Structures are given as structure tokens and as C-alpha cells.
Amino acid sequence: MKKNPVGVIGAGSFGAAIANLLAENGDVLLYERNTETRALLSRERKVRGFDLHPNIQMADSLEQIASSCYLIFPAVPSQFFKKMIIDFSPYLRPDHIMIHTTKGLHCEFDIDTADARTIRLKDIKTMSELILQETGIVRVGSIAGPNLALELMDKQPAATVVASRFDEVIREGVEALKSDRFQVYGTRDILGIELTGVLKNYVALAAGAMSGLGYGENARALLITRGMAEMIYIGHALGADKRSFLGMAGIGDLIATCSSPKSRNFSVGYRIAKGEKLADILTSLGEVAEGVRTLKIGKLIVDHTWVSAPLLQTIYKVVFEELPMDRAVKMMMRYPVSNDAEYLNL
């Protein structure tokens, strides 16, 4: 029996990369909301210089995706996710399985004006929580891992994690994605996978900034290791288990994004350290850097919960309050240290 095509929402570089991976195992329907981009894609079939797989067809509407696909991967930045899912909702049914790829959080309040003392944590939602809230879909999953879009497009080997409370969703995700160059792991800890994917963004940004100062591998290793510890504490405050932070989507993704100029978050940090203004960087980048949003939301979370997060606090000052990076490094280095790997006792 011929399988239904798999749907992908969003033809940004990650959406295209995922679509290409899925296309190796079967047909894919790709939807892009911007009509010009959509037309261009159908004509040229190229995303950032890489070819779209011949098994990929462009879809004209969300409705078409819903009626043709059982398995759907949205790859839409967190700030547009809610609108997309609300538009999508009328067509979705309980026999749809949705595995999102977004490494970001949604807030039910305005993150630029919110007061950390009065926010409610339940108003900060992961994408899977948003899907459950806004649609009739129950079988929801998430993927995260060291998956730099351009390397995936370039067909280099990589791995990812599919998370869902349903084994069936993990199974469907694995079957659809796995190939000789793409390993797919599974876990039921969806909250942990979503949070680790989100929180690593600001650590990547800090890594970029360190690199911008010309620091080498020792400093990066220090940053990654302590960055992960901090992520575990913040994740813990939000109810996640530490295990996922130590896996492919946690430390794995952290190493990739903290080492690569190809990572958007990394390059934002790098350019800030080189003295560019945030606003200019964001305009020239064209695509969304989730790290900047994560930093704002992360700051609200740690201020609200009193979690000690010196790295986040300092890098926030660098990005939004023009604290010079060299002074920021001094502040971080002076921070009193505790026992090594103490987070394992959480």
C-alpha cells in the first residue's frame, strides 16, 4: 500500500532540510505561507543553494496538507507558531500525528513588557502544549538534536531525538526520518527535549560572543559545560527531567551550535562581540534567531523562579543593555564556583 505523503509546514532552511530527509523515505508535501517564496520554490526548487528532493511537492494550502497527510512536521519559528496552528486547527483531526521541530517557546503575554514578578509559568508554553491547546490533535511529538540545517542539506551524517508520550508517535517519526546518514533516537520525555532544544539557544549565542572575542577551545568548553548545568537548573524549575539535557538533544545539540558559525544564534553572538548593533544584525540575518527571544523569555523565567543563572543574566546584559563582552567575561569568571557536576544530584 502506498503511504500518504508526509506534510512539512514552513520552507525555511530547517523546514527544507527536514523535507529533504523525509523525501528519502517517501512523498512529501511542503507548505510555505509566503506566496512569493512558494512560487519561487516551485519554479527553482532550491533553498539556500541546495536542491529540493524530487519527492517533494509544494502544497497550496494548510487544508491540502491536512487532507492528504497523517504525519505532519511543522517547522515554523515560535513567534509565528500560534497563528499558524490556529489557522491550521479547523482542518486537523485526532488521527493526525504532529511532530514539531521548533526550538522556541510561546508566551501568552508580551515578552517585551512583562514583569517577571507577576507572570505565571503556565502562560509560557512549549510548542507541543500549544498544539494540544489549539487543535484536536492528541498525538504530538517533538524533535531536537544537533541538526544544523545546512549540514543536513549537504547530506552529512547526523542524529536527532523524537520525543512523545506516545510510542506510536516516536515510531512513526523514526520510520519517516531515519536513513543511512540520519540516526533517530526516541524518548517519552517530551518536555525535557523541548526545553533543552530551546535553552541551548542562548548558550550558543554566548559561545558566539566568546568566539568573537577571539577566545579558543578552553573557554568554549568551559562555557558549554557550565551552560549545560545552567540549562538543567532552569529546566528543573520548569518540571523537566535532567536526563534529556545529557542526551543527543541536550549536550549533543549544544556542542554543535556552540561550535559552528553556521548556527544563527552563534553568529548573532559573534557579531555582537565584534561591536555590531543587535538591530542591524537581525535585519541583515533575514531569518529568525530564536536565541534572542529565548534570552528574553529565559530572563523572565529565572527572575520569576529565582534560579541562579549567571550566564543567562550576563549575556542578557550584553545583548540588550550594551554591556561590553570583555567585561561580561570577567563578571562570569568571578562568579563563585561550586562542586563539579553537582547537577547530577538533582
Partner 1 sequence: MSGREYKSTDYPLPYVVEKIADWPIARLSNDKENFVEEVKQRVLEKLKTKFKDEKSLREELAKVLYQERIRLTEKPWKADPPDERQFWNGMKSKLIKLEQLENKSSFTEAEMLDEIVDRYANEIVGQFDERAFGLARAILPQFFGRILAAAPGKWFKTVAGNVRTIHEKIPITGDIEKIRHLSTKGTMIVVPTHFSNMDSIMVGWILNELGLPAFTYGAGLNLFNIGLLAYFMSRLGAYKLDRRKKNAVYLETLKTYSTVAIQRGAHSIFFPGGTRSRSGQIETKLKLGLLGTALEAQKLHYKNFPEETAPKIFVVPCIINYHFVLEAQGLINDYLKETGKERFYKENDEYSTSFKLIRFMWKFLSASSSLSVSFGEPMDVLGNKVDGEGNSYNHLGQKINVKKYFITNGELNDDEQRDAEYTKILGEKIIDNYWRYNVVLTSHLVCFTVFEMLKKKYAGYDLFTLLRTPLDEISLPYTEVVEKVNVLKEKVKEKYELGEVLMSPELRWNVDKIIEHGMKNINMYHTASPLTRNGDTIGSEELKLLYYYHNRLEGYGLEKFI
Active site residues: 200
Measured from the CB atom, the residue of 5 and 227 that comes closer to partner 1 is 5
Least distance in angstroms from the C-beta of 166 to partner 1: 5
3 binds partner 1 (CB under 8 A): yes
Binding mask 135-174 for partner 1 (x = CB under 8 A): xx-xx-------------------------xxxx---x--
Least distance in angstroms from the C-beta of 196 to partner 1: 22
Measured from the CB atom, the residue of 93 and 277 that comes closer to partner 1 is 93
Q: What is the bridge-based pairing of β-strands 158-163 and 140-144?
A: antiparallel
32 binds partner 1 (CB under 8 A): no
Measured from the CB atom, the residue of 138 and 159 that comes closer to partner 1 is 138
Rounded CA-CA distance 244/91 in Å is 33
Binding mask 59-88 for partner 1 (x = CB under 8 A): -----------xx-----------------
Measured from the CB atom, the residue of 69 and 223 that comes closer to partner 1 is 69
239 binds partner 1 (CB under 8 A): no
Measured from the CB atom, the residue of 132 and 282 that comes closer to partner 1 is 132
Judged by CB under 8 A, the stretch of 74-82, 93-101, 194-202, 254-262 that binds partner 1 is 93-101
- List strand residue ranges (DSSP E) for the chain, in order: 6-9, 28-31, 46-47, 50-51, 56-58, 71-74, 97-100, 105-107, 124-126, 140-144, 158-163, 182-187
CB atoms within 10 A of CB 217: 8
36 CA to centre of own chain: 25
Which position has the grid cell 558549554? 224
Least distance in angstroms from the C-beta of 18 to partner 1: 19
Number of shown-chain residues binding partner 1 (CB under 8 A):
20
235-258 CB burial, b ≥16 within 10 A, e <16 = bbbbebbbebbbbbbbbbbbbbbb
Residue type, 76: V
Least distance in angstroms from the C-beta of 97 to partner 1: 7
End-to-end CA distance of the chain: 49
Least distance in angstroms from the C-beta of 70 to partner 1: 5
Question: Which triple of cell numbers denotes residue 195?
Answer: 526545553
Measured from the CB atom, the residue of 62 and 256 that comes closer to partner 1 is 62
Rounded CA-CA distance 32/38 in Å is 6
> Which of 32, 134, 230, 253 is the binder for partner 1 (CB under 8 A)?
134
> Which of 93, 181, 277, 330 is the binder for partner 1 (CB under 8 A)?
93
319 CA to centre of own chain: 19
Rounded CA-CA distance 265/203 in Å is 9
Measured from the CB atom, the residue of 71 and 292 that comes closer to partner 1 is 71
Least distance in angstroms from the C-beta of 332 to partner 1: 39
Least distance in angstroms from the C-beta of 136 to partner 1: 4
Closest of 230, 222, 225, 209 to residue 299, by C-alpha: 230
Which position has the grid cell 517519526? 173
Q: What is the DSSP string of 139-200?
A: -EEEEESS--HHHHHTT--EEEEEE-S-HHHHHHHHHHH-BTTEEEEEES-HHHHHHHHHHH
Site of interaction with partner 1 (CB under 8 A): 3-4, 70-71, 89-90, 93-95, 97, 134-136, 138-139, 165-168, 172
